[in-house]
Amino acid sequence: MLSHSQIKYIQSLQQKKFRRQYGVFVAEGEKIVSELWASNFGVEGIYALSGWLEAHRHEIRPGVDIYELSEKDLGRISGLKTPNKVMAVVKTPEPGNEPEHMAGSLSLVLDKVQDPGNLGTIIRTADWFGIRQIICSPDTAEVFSPKVVQATMGSFLRVKVSYTELEPFFEKTKAGTPVYGAFLEGENLFEVNPSGQGLMVIGNESKGISYKVATFVGKKLRIPGGRQSNSLNSAESLNASVAAGILMAWMTKK
């Protein structure tokens, strides 16, 4: 049984303001929680049904608060339409130093990706393709919002997501680092030799890559297809996470 103030506490974590204030966020579901223990993330509390606890209590690290809940109480604190069996309150990692591109690897740069579902899906896709670092503009969606966390399907545990002003980031990036981005007038993606390293910029859902960031993109790519001139014979654009997925698939191909 949870107290009224405990319920209020967990519910408040749906809002950014309180996630900041308490330094924690929520992650729901058996899959994500089972992958938490293999990560560097600290866990403050586990809120679970008795059935889940019976099977998994031995996996929970010492020092983690454990709450056994009824389905009704879990429904109260869950942000999901269909609550799962378990929910974790996870400690937000310290932001650490300013992000730097790791030479020899491919990293993503997100320029105002605003939809939480898109950000979560991009993190999940990056994880699939072995991309370990994502650098986000400050106006990109927040990685620890519940919708993003859930859409990553646990991949937020393995991909480092940092927020920084993009212009200074590009300015201090080592000369010669290839910077890729999708533009309608770019070169056909499948005719570009995938280097597997550098920076790949993903733009905003409706506006694409901003003018200022575009000046740093040395290699403009185009995903084949799309609308020819002004005719209405095709889609005008791709969904941001689908476009990012196609770019990542090709650029990480050995």
* Residues 61, 29: Cα–Cα separation, whole Å: 17
Task: Output 83 or 154, the one with its CB closest to a second copy.
Answer: 154
Cβ 100 to a second copy shortest distance, Å? 23
Cβ 41 to a second copy shortest distance, Å? 13
Task: Output 33 or 69, the one with its CB closest to a second copy.
Answer: 33
What token pair was written down for 171?
């300015």
Work out the burial of residue 222: count CB atoms within 10 Å of its CB; fewer than 13 is exposed, 13-18 middle, 19 or more buried.
middle
Which H or E run includes 128? helix 116-128
Residues that bind a second copy (CB under 8 A): 31, 35, 38, 117, 121, 124-125, 127-130, 151, 153-155, 158, 189-190, 223-226, 232-239, 241-243, 245-246, 249-250, 252-254
Name the nearest CA neighbour of 120 among 89, 94, 155, 88: 155
Cβ 130 to a second copy shortest distance, Å? 6
> C-alpha 174: how far from its chain's center?
25
Coil, strand or helix at 63: coil
Task: Output 29 or 83, the one with its CB closest to a second copy.
Answer: 29
CA dihedral for 174, 177, 183, 187, sign (positive or negative):
positive
Task: Output 166 or 251, the one with its CB closest to a second copy.
Answer: 251
Cβ 35 to a second copy shortest distance, Å? 6
Task: Output 71 or 128, the one with its CB closest to a second copy.
Answer: 128
Name the nearest CA neighbour of 97 among 22, 172, 35: 172
Cβ 121 to a second copy shortest distance, Å? 5
